Amino acid sequence: MALFRKKPEQKTPQEELVLPRHVGIIMDGNGRWAKKRALPRTAGHRFGAEKFKKINEYCLDRNIEVVTFYAFSTENWKRSEEEVSNIMDLFIDYLEEWLTMDDSKNMKVRFLGDRTPFSDRAKQLMQEVEEKSRKFSNQLNIAVNYGSRSELVRACNLLKNKEGEITEEDISSSLYTAGQPDVDLIIRTGGEKRLSNFLLWQAAYAELYFCDTLWPDMTFDDIDRALEFYSSRQRRFGGA
């Protein structure tokens, strides 16, 4: 049942559902999806990249303020050269496509992660996309060469010369997600139940939603189920 499948301006009883402000998505299962079809892993990533665009638009339609997709982790460099270069090509294709999209997408894009190892072309495109999208309001974060531990180490280094005590606010504002609300809901596809170094600080109080769907098979209904799950949770933030 697609509870949210409506034009944003239409009113439904589901308006009462409590929506997360910030959703983090771990897109897992591209490789297994391809294997099931006797296709190369690269095909899984190609379908995965298409699904990323659709799910991102759906989250935008649902007016979720911030969505963060985990596209490439600091650990993903361990994969074969062919697979890494395929993911990089898909990423560059997406950036180039983004720059030709019309303004109606309304997404302010930020890339979370260390850009040092990326090609000059990728770095230039990331900068261009961030600059051109600055005027928009809904936030799309794409985590590339991202790892939460290295993000925290970076934050510590940024703060090392600060006078006085370091506060939680100092750390939050030294992360790649500075200025954004903490993540409320993390969705992980592909059946694994772990965070894999994703938004560990920001997810301190997040609700966690795991589903078996392999990422390229992800549907809007799966997202709705995750949002319903979130809405049904009573968040106490450590209180009674």
Q: Which residues bind ligand FPP (CB under 6 A)?
A: 27-32, 45, 48-49, 52, 71, 76, 87, 90-91, 94, 142, 190
Q: Taking Cα atoms as reference points, which of 38, 34, 3, 23 lies closest to residue 217?
A: 34
Shortest Cβ distance from residue 118 to ligand FPP (Å)? 13
Shortest Cβ distance from residue 53 to ligand FPP (Å)? 8
Shortest Cβ distance from residue 213 to ligand FPP (Å)? 12
Q: Active-site residue 103, yes or no?
A: no
Q: CB-wise, 81 or 165, nearer to ligand FPP? A: 81
Active-site residue, selected from the candidate residues 28, 30, 138, 141: 28
One-letter amino acid at 218 equals M
Shortest Cβ distance from residue 31 to ligand FPP (Å)? 2
Structure tokens at 109: 């894009």
Shortest Cβ distance from residue 41 to ligand FPP (Å)? 6
Q: CB-wise, 94 or 155, nearer to ligand FPP? A: 94
User: Which letter, b or e, does each residue of 75-92 get, where b requires 16 or more Cβ atoms within 10 Å of its Cβ?
Assistant: ebeeeeeebeebbbebbb
Q: Active-site residue 61, yes or no?
A: no
Active-site residue, selected from the candidate residues 30, 61, 63, 76: 76
Q: CB-wise, 174 or 177, nearer to ligand FPP? A: 177
Edge-to-edge strands, sheet with 138-146: 107-112, 138-146, 66-73, 22-26, 185-188, 207-210
Q: Taking Cα atoms as reference points, which of 169, 136, 3 lies closest to residue 65?
A: 136
Structure tokens at 106: 């309304």
Q: CB-wise, 46 or 62, nearer to ligand FPP? A: 46
Q: CB-wise, 86 or 202, nearer to ligand FPP? A: 86
> Residue 38 — left, alpha, or beta (φ > 0 → left; ψ -120 to 50 → alpha)?
left
| DSSP codes, 85-153 | HHHHHHHHHHHHHHHHS-GGG-EEEEEES--TTS-HHHHHHHHHHHHHHTT--EEEEEEEEE-HHHHHH
- Catalytic positions are 28, 76
